[in-house]
Amino acid sequence: MEGKYLSPVQSDIISNVHVTAEGLLSKLTVAIDSWLPFSLQYFDVTSLPHTSLVALLFLGFVYLIYYLTRPLNIFIDLTGEKSDKFFKLPAKNDSMAKDLLVSRLRRDPDAKKLPLYPNGWFRILESWELGLEKVKYVAALGENFAVFRKSDGKVHVVDAYCPHLGANMGIGGSVKNGCLECPFHGWQFDGETGKCRNIPYAKKIPEFAKVRTWKSVEVNHIIFVWYHADGEEPSYEIQPFADIMDGSYTYKGRFEYLMDAHAEDVFQNFADNEHINCIHAPRMFMTGADLEGSKRKWLSYFTNLTQLTQWELDADLPHKSWGRNEVHIKLFNRITIIKSNVLARNIGPGYIELTQSTSLGNTRYTMCFTPVAPLTLRLTTRLYMRPFTILFGPIALHGLKNAFEEDIMVWNYGKVRAQQNIIKEDGSVAHFRRWYSQFYSKSSPSINCQDTIY
Ligand code: FES
Ligand SMILES: [Fe+2]
């Protein structure tokens, strides 16, 4: 039976017709040995007792399960020139990328009025990013925050810059006596009131020794800060997402993008029915940032994506709206192989909860849109599934990530918050714009496009 393409070990195994359990194990270990990397081939697997071999195989199996189920953590920066490389566009240097962004604003007659930061709850960190008694610096919404967690787990957010000589307390600061201690001269600030509680080298604490505090809430494994350009108190709350907070769905991974975009343009995606068949369907959530992806004929021969999207206001709560989406991926344009139903709960201008049922499994997502600088947006998505789901996690995460990359290509290079040249068939987009406008107020910062925006 020795064949042309069989190695001596393989043909030896095949030709051995007198197979006993012991003989098979011995042959198997020799076969495994032949497939091991060169450096491991000097390790004689047959010298191991059988129980050790079984233990080894078991450990390998456990590792495989871990590998297939481990939460993915993907971060991609698509700002400035990094975007050109990612989308394989002609390279330009970073200053040219900035010029392009400024010229995008100049082309927009309303650019000077463009409100940059909506009012609402915005993610500044995820819970895992801030350990006990740790401090982080976060720049977002045109503000600079020092975020710290006390030993009892409570999170506080204060202005990053120390009122003494201006050190950034989010960088090098520490948590001492339940306060945030500045790294420069050791002044300690209370996260609740912002007042200085201790100056290590002075008996009297001056009036000015006070730092601005920001309202924050930690829910759904996310730390949110309340931002309002006119200083108004929170007008709504972020509620616990029952499925992920009661443990019926567990964390399966996340992705995060930095991009040149306005939060409203990104959020609008969920009300824009027609873009799905145009930009997503030809790529089938498979090719992502690959601009040539839609030209691959085999994708269109074998699959077809049909969808139905609805967007509506919440009947009771003005800060809330709902998006529904049904997608069918079909084989030969006839047989539905995957059906997906998504319900999006849009909560304020920067946070969405997704509930998805598919024929492959169910998922829950939290999505956050945080403007970190003028026209720079951080998009973070966390995926949750039933505890013992394997394989479907990475597939679902990559599918959604690819879909976003197809959109980011448009947002990164298009006109920002374009005028509403909307036709009747664009459906919910105009409604969405009206709904979103409630999140701007009199003092919402805008950009003067004659100035430098960096
Ligand atoms: S700058 Fe913060 S204590 Fe001096
Ligand atoms: Fe999209």
For the cut 60, the answer to whether the pLDDT of residue 384 exceeds it is: yes
Q: What is the CA radius of gyration of the chain?
A: 28
Percentage of residues of the chain with pLDDT beyond 90: 46
Lowest mean pLDDT among 64-78, 148-162, 228-242, 285-299: 285-299
For the cut 50, the answer to whether the pLDDT of residue 258 exceeds it is: yes
Neighbours of ion ligand 2 (CB under 5 A): 269, 407
Which pLDDT does position 297 carry in this prediction? 67
Best residue among 179, 187, 195, 201 to mutate for probing ligand 1, ranked by most atoms within 8 Å of CB = 187
For the cut 50, the answer to whether the pLDDT of residue 168 exceeds it is: yes
More confident residue, 108 or 410: 410
Residue 184 CB less than 6 A away from ligand 1: yes
Q: For the stretch 318-355, what's the b/e string if a residue is b when 16 or more beta carbons lie within 10 angstroms of its beta carbon? A: ebebebebebbbbeeeeeeeeebebebbbbbbbbbbbb
CB 253 within 8 A of CB 381: no
Residue 165 CB less than 6 A away from ligand 1: yes
pLDDT in tens, 3-24: 334 344 444 434 443 445 455 5
Give residue 323 CA to ligand 1 midpoint distance, Å. Answer: 48
pLDDT confidence tier of residue 406, bands split at 50, 70 and 90:
confident
Ligand nearest to the CA of 181: 1
Residue 57 CB less than 6 A away from ligand 1: no
Q: From its phi and psi, is residue 187 left (phi > 0), alpha (psi between -120 and 50) or beta?
A: beta
Q: Which two tokens stand for residue 348?
A: 């304020």
Residue nearest to atom 4 of ligand 1 (CA): 185
Mean pLDDT of 100-123: 75
Which pLDDT does position 282 carry in this prediction? 65
Q: Which two tokens stand for residue 336?
A: 């539905």
pLDDT in tens, 32-90: 555 555 555 555 656 667 788 888 899 998 888 777 777 888 888 888 777 777 777 66
pLDDT in tens, 315-371: 999 999 998 888 887 777 778 878 889 999 999 999 999 999 988 889 999 999 999
Residue 182 CB less than 6 A away from ligand 1: yes
Total-model pTM: 0.82
CB 244 within 8 A of CB 366: yes
Question: What distances in angstroms separate CA 427 from CA 138, 287, 310, 377, one per listed residue?
Answer: 37, 27, 9, 26
Which pLDDT does position 17 carry in this prediction? 39
Residue 114 CB less than 6 A away from ligand 1: no
Which pLDDT does position 13 carry in this prediction? 39
**Measured distance CA(413)–CA(322) in Å, rounded:** 28
Q: Which two tokens stand for residue 211?
A: 């730092």
Which pLDDT does position 69 carry in this prediction? 74
Which pLDDT does position 8 carry in this prediction? 42
Beta bridge partners of 175: 180
Lowest mean pLDDT among 74-78, 131-135, 181-185, 317-321: 74-78
Give residue 206 CA to ligand 1 midpoint distance, Å. Answer: 13
CB burial class (10 A; 0-12, 13-18, 19+) of residue 208? exposed
pLDDT in tens, 191-229: 999 999 999 999 999 999 999 999 999 999 999 999 999
Relative to the CA of 162, which ligand 1 atom is closest? 2
Helix (H) or strand (E) run with residue 20 in it: none
Which is nearest to 120 in space by CA: 321, 349, 322, 317? 349
More confident residue, 330 or 268: 268
The amino acid at residue 372 is V
For the cut 50, the answer to whether the pLDDT of residue 155 exceeds it is: yes
What are residue 446's phi and psi, to 5 degrees?
Answer: -125, 175
The chain-wide mean pLDDT, for the chain, equals 82
Which pLDDT does position 68 carry in this prediction? 74
Best residue among 158, 161, 179, 182 to mutate for probing ligand 1, ranked by most atoms within 8 Å of CB = 182
Which pLDDT does position 76 carry in this prediction? 86
Which is nearest to 183 in space by CA: 160, 215, 149? 160
